[in-house]
Amino acid sequence: MSQRKIRVAALQEKTMPRTSVQEKLARTLELIETASKDGCQIIVAGELCTSDYDRFYGTKDVSLFPEAEPIPGPCTDAVGKLTKKYKNYVIFPMFEKASPGIYYNAAATIGPDGAVVGNYRKTHVAGVQVLEKLYFRAGQGFKVWETSFEPHAHFGTIICHDRRYPETSRILAMLGAEMMFCPTAAPGYAGGVHWDVVNTARAVDTGMFCIYSNRCGEEGNKKYFGESMIVNPHGEVIAKGGDRTNAVIAADCDLALVDEARIAVPTLRDIRHDFYVKYYSQPGYDRLL
């Protein structure tokens, strides 16, 4: 099969507890520049990379809301200066203020012309240990973008807790995605099988490259384990961050493997979404209670 290669990166950022948005942004911009100089054409930073994620635990902290910004806004403008310089794409996850009282856990995609080309809002707002539901409204849509340069890769985004729902990555694949980018802020409880098995399963489920970024270090009583990874369509981990801090986890991805994997295991060909929908539309979970 012919090769369609693209170089991608996940940024494994060190926590910077109780520092400003501007200080965290400066760290992320430095890593974006490092990845760009390494030839990375699509780069994903970590979930809410300009925020202290541990502050979203417990009771609602209203002092957090002034940190939110519109998209586009000052942070995406700063990222856009680099994407325009290097002619690449950056997925920049941030605390978005959409309108008065409406906030999202979002990930803006900034393109080679320096402008925001898209924005994904987290579909499954977490209520596990973290209480994101006190801050964020749930997103209402999925979209796939195509790079303006060869190999004209099709890619989409989900965010952290979304990866636990196979439907999210499957929908992106059905919309034509060959690559899925998933920024996360995953502490200790989300490690082990909740990380390795879930992340590789999403690649196998869909036959596409899956790129996961995670922060590393401590915030309050939470410890983030890193282990950012890039998984190929066969479920093989081709790059992993370990516990490195402020690291660029990069890999060359041959998109020909997407077709190869989907021929070998044709889940998208055989999917019965028309059949499943009758069960989704009449959930029976409450009857178990």
Give per-residue pLDDT as tens, 166-189. 999 999 999 999 999 999 999 999
* pLDDT score for 288: 60
Total domain count, the chain: 1
Q: pTM, whole model, 2 decimals?
A: 0.96
What is d(CA 119, CA 111) in angstroms, rounded to the nearest whole number? 11
Cβ neighbour number for residue 69 with a 10 Å cutoff: 19
Whether 157 contacts 110, CB under 8 Å = no
What is d(CA 257, CA 263) in angstroms, rounded to the nearest whole number? 10
| SS3 label, residue 227 | coil
In Å, how far are 161, 210, 233, 260, 267 from 263, measured between CA atoms? 29, 18, 11, 5, 9
| Residue with token string 């020909």 | 256
Give pLDDT tens digits for 32-88: 999 999 999 999 999 999 999 999 887 899 999 999 999 999 999 999 999 999 999
Provide the domain limits for residue 283. 5-288
282 — pLDDT class (breaks 50, 70, 90) = confident
Whether 285 has a pLDDT exceeding 90, the answer reads no
Instruction: Give the domain CATH number at 106.
Output: 3.60.110.10
